Amino acid sequence: MMNLIENFLLNTIRSGTPIMFALIGDLIGQRAGHISLSVEGAMLTGCCVGFAACYYTDNLLLAVLLAALAGAFVGFLQIHFNISCGADMFALALAINYFCSAVTNYFGASLISKSISGFGRIAIPLLSEIPLIGDAIFNQDILTYISYLLPIVVGFILFKTKIGTAIRTAGEVHQVAVAYGYNVRLLKYGAVMTAGILAAVGGVQLSCAYTMTWTADMAGGRGFIASALVILCSWKPGRAYMAAYLFGAAQSLQILFQLLAIPIPTNIVTMAPYVVTLIALAFISMNKNPSMPEELKKIGRPLEIQN
Amino acid sequence: MKKIVKRAARLLLAVLVCSFLAACGSSADVNHSDAGGTEGTQTAPGKGATKIGVLLVGTRDDYGYNQALYNGCIQSGEDLGVEIMIKESVPEDSSSQAVMEQMISAGCTIIYATSYGHREYAELVAQEHPEVAFFCSNETGQAMDNISALVTYGWDSAYVNGVCAGLMTKTNEIGFIASFQIPVVMHSINAFALGVQSVNPDATVHVVFTGSWDDVGSQTDAVNAMASQNIDCIAQYQDYTKTICEMCEAAGIYVVGYHIDGSDIAPNTFITGTIDICTKQTEVFRETIEGNFPAGIVSGGYPEGMTGNAPCGACVPDDVKAVVEDTVEMMKEGTFEVFAGPIYKQDGTIAYEEGYTPTTEEILGMDFLVQGVVGLDN
């Protein structure tokens, strides 16, 4: 039983961490009024670049930096073609994702058979000794520790600092931000590129810490899920813990239920986070006083039927 | 002026991106000329072929299905003294049709379209080129004079895997990481479990379906979860096997491979595994070149030489090795039926009565798990 709970926690955190990075990233972007479905491509690129850097240099910091750079580039494509060229942000994101998939398949082909030592687990003294939860939570890789702090740090920046207020204003009524003398264009570029960077770092965690593997299209929709989970968080970073680990828990339970022969069909368990997101989406959309950034409401505005 | 420069820059960028994508997608030149081939003649398809074109859906070093096929085809080429033209990462859409056309214009008169989804496009190309012999991996589809399916029945080698795993486990808890609850996977799990039970009736097989052929995240979670449940041997039915092999090696868990020999990535824990061997494929290609194209289906398991097992890994003691080798010999003779009754389902009800041996069609439609397997069949 002890083993089971420990394993449940461990798998929940490990599968939730890549989601956490992409989720917080896209949350920043959405707060600035821009939905980046391309976090999927950014994560995939991060997986590939991080793995390549780990393999060729064995320098973990370099792996994260290069992946972040690649992620920033993906974010740049997303925001630049939207703001400066007027492309539809969703169509654009799909094109970017296919682009990332093709590029990483091409350059990553020779990496598939390679092995890396990657990010080792670092036990935090004392805390990792706590029975039941210690080993799962406090004996993790460095990127996972960073992901623990991410929602708090980003929440602080968004809500307690001037720059955060500016980003949020850009996503609510951008004219106000302009009136206050902010460069809205720059703010949006920054926010969406940060989304790309964080998603790519999540990708590094996925390929170099969690699975120690590179395979084609390994992000497997995790970026899309993260982007959808932003809604579940109602754009509040603190709720990212709930959303990311809800997804991680479903992943983890899906396997444990099977191992314990608990007769709940696997598809039902894996469906759970999506069902919760759908319900949350419906509630948030019906809410009279929603937390949805105003600029987002202009995108995909529901059809008003008059009869 | 500024506007023109901007537009030109954008156009240039678009062209660059397009050409780059094109380069990623396909390295062969598109050539629509119908030169070559033996049009009009009534010879058997693929007769006298000097070039064989092979389409892979993935990459050659994926430690799985594609790598097995790649190695097999290269070997066939060496054995037959013909040129093998391999195109990796061919998607299961109309672009595979273009790849086949390119290969034919380059002189290939035998085409091996290895992924299930390639078949419908192979049929289209086959209609246009009756002189070219086509091989696919699935039998479902239009029957044509110049298409043949190379179908491997995996239950023989899965049973051998089970025998090895049943003898190697010390905790009597064996894991099986599978993909989907579909017949081809179900009968492999069942054959594996029957192999385990034949040598170790106390052992339990715990199966986990990941819902994917290659999601490395789910694979990682499954290995971690199994390790926490006292499981000391893990078998798999996945397309991509490297992650599971490496994780088992790191955790000191015995691992059964799939498609290819994983002993180089798990030198201390790899015990054996199903491998798709090429002896039969080489033979079929040879017959085709000689003018005896086997239209229809070429299928089978061990007796027909369609499947095999990787040699036992270094961790397997000699007495276990001997039992495994005896089982392989027994399989090759073709007198042993893996699913000969009595076979019981998980809930104890009888699936095949004593004295009854299910037909191949019945096995290919298997939708239950046998007794002794812990896991969900839906």
Structural domains in chain A, CATH included, are: 2-109+121-292 (1.10.3470)
> Mutate which of B221, B226, B261, B376 to disrupt the A interface (most A C-beta within 10 Å)?
B221
Structural domains in chain B, CATH included, are: 51-152 (3.40.50.2300), 155-276+307-374 (3.40.50.2300)
pLDDT tens per residue, range A283-304: 777 776 667 888 887 776 666 6
* Residues of chain B positioned with their CB less than 8 A from the CB of A102: 21, 24-25
CB contact A271 to B (< 8 Å): no
First to last CA, chain A: 60
Tell if the CB–CB gap between A213 and B246 is shorter than 8 Å: yes
C-alpha span between B377 and B181 (Å, rounded): 6
Q: What is the DSSP string of B15-29?
A: HHHHHHHHHHH--SP
CB contact A258 to B (< 8 Å): yes
Q: What is the mean pLDDT of chain A?
A: 90
Tell if the CB–CB gap between B220 and A112 is shorter than 8 Å: no
* Closest CA–CA distance from residue A62 to any residue of chain B (Å): 23
How much is the pLDDT for B1? Answer: 54
* Closest CA–CA distance from residue A283 to any residue of chain B (Å): 30
Residue A98 CA to its chain's centroid (Å): 18
> Mutate which of A43, A73, A258 to disrupt the B interface (most B C-beta within 10 Å)?
A258
pLDDT tens per residue, range A47-101: 999 999 999 999 999 999 999 999 999 999 999 999 888 888 899 999 999 999 9
pLDDT tens per residue, range A9-21: 999 999 999 999 9
Does the bond joining B342 to the residue before it have cis omega, within 30 degrees of 0?
yes
A-B CB pairs within 8 A amount to 116
pLDDT in tens, chain B (378 residues): 556 656 666 655 565 555 555 444 444 333 333 334 444 445 788 888 899 999 998 888 888 888 889 998 999 999 999 999 999 889 888 999 999 999 999 999 999 999 888 999 999 999 999 999 999 988 788 888 899 998 888 899 999 999 999 999 999 999 999 998 888 899 999 999 999 999 999 999 999 998 888 889 999 999 999 999 899 999 999 988 999 999 999 999 999 999 989 999 999 999 999 987 667 888 899 999 999 998 888 888 888 888 899 999 999 999 999 999 999 999 999 889 999 989 999 999 999 999 999 998 899 889 999 999 998 887
Strands (E), chain A: 122-123, 139-140
Residue B167 CA to its chain's centroid (Å): 26
Q: How many residues does chain B have?
A: 378
B300: left (phi over 0), alpha (psi -120 to 50) or beta: left
Q: What pairs with residue B9 in β-bridges? A: none
Higher-confidence position of A300 and A195: A195
Tell if the CB–CB gap between A255 and B214 is shorter than 8 Å: no
Tell if the CB–CB gap between B228 and A210 is shorter than 8 Å: no
Tell if the CB–CB gap between B224 and A251 is shorter than 8 Å: no
Tokens of A63: 């792996």
Instruction: Give φ, ψ of B298 to 5 degrees.
Output: -110, 110
* Closest CA–CA distance from residue B227 to any residue of chain A (Å): 9
pLDDT tens per residue, range B180-196: 888 889 999 999 999 99
Tell if the CB–CB gap between B61 and A112 is shorter than 8 Å: yes
* Residues of chain B positioned with their CB less than 8 A from the CB of A265: 376, 378
Determine whether B308 is exposed, middle or buried from the number of CB atoms within 10 Å of its CB (0-12, 13-18, 19+): buried
Cβ under 8 Å to B: A residues 118-157: none
Q: Which helix (H) or strand (E) holds B108?
A: none
Choose the closest CB to A211 out of B58, B208, B243.
B243
Choose the closest CB to B206 out of A112, A251, A259.
A259
Tell if the CB–CB gap between A270 and B265 is shorter than 8 Å: no
C-alpha span between A47 and A39 (Å, rounded): 12
Q: Which residue of A has its CA nearest to B264?
A: A113
* Closest CA–CA distance from residue B173 to any residue of chain A (Å): 11
CB contact A7 to B (< 8 Å): yes
C-alpha span between B151 and B139 (Å, rounded): 7
* Residues of chain B positioned with their CB less than 8 A from the CB of A21: none
The set of long-range contacts for B130-134, using a CB threshold of 8 Å and a minimum separation of 24, is B130/B45, B131/B37, B131/B38, B131/B39, B131/B41, B131/B43, B131/B45, B131/B46, B132/B37, B132/B45, B132/B46, B132/B104, B132/B108, B133/B45, B133/B46, B133/B49, B133/B109, B133/B288, B133/B293, B134/B45, B134/B110
